[in-house]
Structure 1
Amino acid sequence: MLFSLMLLFLFTIFYPNASYALSCANIPPIETAYERYDGVVVGKVEEIVATSVSNELQVKVLRSFKGIEAQSLTIQEDITWGSWHGPSVKGETYLFFLYEKATGWENPLCSPTEKVADQADVDPYLEGKDIPLKPAPQAKSMVIESSNNAVPSQANWMAITVSLLFIGFVLFRFIHYLKKR
């Protein structure tokens, strides 16, 4: 009985008087979302790199409707929740609603980002709002002069490994010799 009273007393003292949750109980209409977010694109997730706090998505932009002209993006999203519909999946195509942060583009928790079947499967509100994408910069070709004495990288690692093993063996034998004396 005393334990129950103590437990009740502790709950009364430490019980929070307010609870907080995400303010995204409802998905905003497309018109509102278009105005609220800095970038709106249809993109295919090509790669996902998980860090300790977020997923870093490598996205190929198929269509852009607002704020983005690049053909590829790196987008940060929460590692557990992703956006409204959960974390993104590699190989899937999404209509992304993004915020631009100092660190890059972010797919926030309450974003109405959603899967789309293909790039043509977007809300009629977005039709006619397409932004032309800039062509990807061409990679500069580098001419590397090689000589007949050039050794491939794998051979370099092999030589380093063999050298370290040899040095380790010599040190082991030397220490073993000193202990026997």
Structure 2
Amino acid sequence: MAELLVKTACDGLEPLKIGLLTLTESKPQSLTTLAPYRGAEQALDKALTTAHGIGFPGVNGSISGAGARVLWFGRDLALLMGPEPDAGLAKHAALTDQSAGWAVMELSGAGAEEVLARLCPVDLRQAHFDIGAALRTELKHMMASICRLDKDRFQIMVFRSMARTLHHDLKTAMEARAARG
């Protein structure tokens, strides 16, 4: 019988250090979409808080704590990152395992905003996109989820099939940023 090996979406992609910027794969973790049933939004928020210590985020937001993060992932949709979802959440929402479907990378360092500005049509400067902000947007020619984790640190997610393309596009933008000094 064939032995199957689990590989992350970024398997074979090397971490990058270009100038002051770093691009790395985020540590693999469970990813589960939470789509509340009609009228169950408040009950889901309460159940999520009870089970994982964090509630359901508002539009373009995220909530972190206790080894978990929940980020806004679209209209009436959030993504639980970290722990496996508590089984009780299924009473209030459709839960879908997304763990193998996404490439998750972190871009960090001075100039990260400028790198993303070369690729995204949205204003990601901290004055408009503060720590904890999350959105779904176009990144070059791919759809992506971007979350600001810290002043100069972003989490970027694309579909698994686009991992190499994201790595290449970010590398090119990082090199252009570094060449400017």
- Name the TM tier (shorter chain): under 0.3
TM-score w.r.t. length of structure 2: 0.22
TM-score w.r.t. length of structure 1: 0.22
Bigger share in strand:
2
Bigger share in helix:
1
Larger gyration radius, structure 1 or structure 2: 1
